[in-house]
Amino acid sequence: DGGITQSPKYLFRKEGQNVTLSCEQNLNHDAMYWYRQDPGQGLRLIYYSQIVNDFQKGDIAEGYSVSREKKESFPLTVTSAQKNPTAFYLCASSTAATDTQYFGPGTRLTVL
Amino acid sequence: AQSVSQHNHHVILSEAASLELGCNYSYGGTVNLFWYVQYPGQHLQLLLKYFSGDPLVKGIKGFEAEFIKSKFSFNLRKPSVQWSDTAEYFCAVNAPYNQGGKLIFGQGTELSVKP
């Protein structure tokens, strides 16, 4: 099955710890995106990447980091510098041919 | 600044009622327009999209949306809702792919349909 997978579905961490969220796609899409979803605020862009080894900051990149070493993978690290990390994180991918983003199932991160 | 505004945060309807969810956007260039839906416990799914051509676009599950350029609007409609349409609906715009393709979302509208 083609698609986007995110793991884990639920993640709990203690305050002050870095945590990495996984996003993998087998759609052969060039571009990948990370969004954060908070109640009543829609989705906000954290980082995006259109080619391997290159990525750009989105609207709320502070306290986050990413890497894009492989086309299929775009992991997101939530660092201890992120002031309010508890949220639902969604990964998406797209290609120039369709210019449409498709989303993974999301990871709900709770920082205790 | 680029932005998307959805008029209603929470809409409650009875089954068979008609639905219209408002969406207005502010963007200085060519845009693509989208409606996504998030059913309880499920992925964010594409409902429909408009890139160009006929401003009335049809999507899945009987939904349609009309792009009115002069009003910067892209309202979502369905003539008769069902209980299974209970979900959160997001309007979004993006810059073309060669400009980054970033999506800008509205705040979302939660739709509750009473059986």
What are the angstrom distances between the C-alpha of A100 and each of B8, B33, B103? 25, 10, 9
> Closest to B102 (Cβ–Cβ): which among A41, A45, A103?
A45
Whole-number pLDDT of residue B99? 77
Q: What is the mean pLDDT of residues B55-82?
A: 96
pLDDT at A1: 55
A45 with B103: Cβ contact below 8 A: yes
Distances (CA, A) of B114 to A4, A63, B85, B111: 33, 41, 10, 10
Give the gap in angstroms from C-alpha A104 to the nearest C-alpha of chain B: 6
What pLDDT was estimated at residue A59? 92
pLDDT in tens, B11-65: 999 999 999 999 999 987 778 999 999 999 888 999 999 999 999 999 999 999 9
CB B21 within 8 A of CB B11: yes
User: Cα(A32)–Cα(A72) distance, rounded to whole angstroms?
Assistant: 9
Q: What is the pLDDT of residue A97?
A: 86
**pLDDT (0 to 100) of residue B107:** 94
Q: What pLDDT, on a 0 to 100 scale, did the predictor assign at position B28?
A: 74
Number of CB atoms found within 10 A of residue B43's CB: 18
Q: pLDDT at position B2, please?
A: 82
- Determine phi and psi for B60, rounding to 5 degrees: -80, 160
Which residues partner with B67 through β-bridges? B74
A–B: how many Cβ contacts below 8 A? Answer: 63
Q: What is the pLDDT of residue A45?
A: 95
- Return the beta strands (E) in chain B as ranges: 3-6, 10-14, 19-21, 23-26, 32-38, 44-50, 56-58, 64-68, 73-78, 87-94, 103-105, 109-114
- The B-side interface with A (CB below 8 A) comprises 4, 9, 32, 34, 36, 42-46, 49, 51, 90, 92, 94, 96-98, 100-108
For chain B, what is the mean pLDDT? 93
Distance from CA of A13 to the nearest CA of B (A): 22
Flag whether pLDDT at B86 surpasses 60: yes
pLDDT by residue for chain A (112 residues), tens only, comes to 569 999 999 999 999 899 999 999 999 999 999 999 998 888 999 999 999 999 999 999 999 999 999 999 999 999 998 999 999 999 999 998 888 999 999 999 999 8
More confident residue, B2 or B61: B61
Six token digits for residue B90: 């997001």
Chain B residues with beta carbon closer than 8 angstroms to that of A56: 100
Give the DSSP H/E element, type plus range, for residue A92.
strand A87-94
